[in-house]
Structure 1
């Protein structure tokens, strides 16, 4: 049904309702009067500075902010909005192209203006069809795309946002090793708490192990962080408990891998047995000065991160064997992450195979 047809039907219904014997207050008064009652009970609405188009065909109200945008654009991408626009929404008379008293539907939303603004930027501004208007999306943007994408079925934004997170919270150790930071560029480390919550919301369990790993680095995990709209973001009590328990178990397992690696015996092919044994003993002894790092850094760092200048000082045969032992130990721990955390992640991990440090 066209927009004009819906508006015509709506106006006709208003005229019929004015004489109908109906106990409903909305049937005895015009929709604009009903909106006036709502306005008296709420703070005064303010027009959004970014999304108030003079020829917009619908007014969206999020908390105390009004957005005048194009209903057809949102309806094209969201079946939920399409259904909302087909409902008998209140009407406000507006001006379009110099014509006054043009009926415009008003739709009340329960979302924050900040979240809604991210959605409108993705669809209302002339840009590439990809969500990556910014090549480095903020947590607030990704969070809005996933939460509102799921709620209103903006499928493309929702899936692209999950794919973005999977790139920074991977399920393979090889991919994890290539990352240079715990979180995407520009994000605060505390926003990993939000990633855990988004993983729970979306059901993308593959994000949880590495999202929890990032949370383990936080010094104030209990306090969470403040979202863009001023609301708090915290882990659930269940997930806080997972973090407290998992941190100890993961650190213990990580330190065991490191000590086992550096306690290795020389290989049969070793031509410098005495020198290589001495190098292994020196490396083990030097770990005493790294206790704090072992407790607070990435538990999947290679042994070379803890020896002087990153060099073990053994022969090539012993180095190859040590690299393999370290890799297999870290990989075995990686594959156990879901078990340590206490969740089942289908497809997690990869086969144990030799790889360089």
Structure 2
């Protein structure tokens, strides 16, 4: 297996190496001299770069995309850095080490932070099928992902200061209403199915269990795996949406990414969970309930919310593309994805199935 490889930086997303070097010289003097800057091609949110220095050290830089200021509450790299600091102080080991955060936008034109690069493998939808991973390996790996989520939800938020990241009371309702407002702000086309999902989610608000830390974007391509022993999760990445609230919201979001062999090609194009050996969504839910001790009988609601949220995220990205704030060709067809996820959510409501 090969590590997740960065590549040439996309046009318009370059970093000013001289300015960045001057910043590191002042704030991280032992970082060394930057020899290469490359960009990780995956992801649809904050932009991620690989930095290599002359002494062989490897770092990762995260920054918001163009047009991020128009998205309220999104792409907050400062908050993501703060989360990593809190997790480090809490003794959680499966994260990159935070190194420096710069909120002075006069340096590079935007806030950014630097962390250590954790070596390993990130499985992505477009590369994983080429690796011909055996079904038994995928089964162990998918089980490991569930168990990692259970472990995250077991962190003591009261004794670690993590509770300051959010306000658990009324969390679900705020999320539903907040994501719908984001949709309205980024709206480009009429999508009645998404409006109908919003009404269902408001009319069916659940009673939440005790709050936990939430990652809010938990999936295969947000974890780094040991290339020699796949089920070993070395690090969990992309903490920008981390907060505190109903843990089943995290499970529902994870399930909304979890495509199965019977799903349409669009859903399967964004993940690798449809490959033979992976747990089904139902098996994921049952293993989580068994390992965490939480009641998952109402998980359908949270799964539908996950589809709803993902549709809005895609709409936000598509809106940036339509406004010319990014030329990334991957974004051109995302409106179809917004429509597909919205319809899938309504179908789940009608059938009662994950």
Q: Answer yes or no: same fold by TM over 0.5.
A: no
Higher Cα Rg: structure 1 or 2?
Answer: 1
Which protein has greater RCO, CA pairs closer than 8 Å, 6+ apart? 2
Please indicate the TM-score interval, normalised by the length of the shorter structure: under 0.3
TM-score, normalization by structure 1:
0.23
TM-score, normalization by structure 2:
0.23
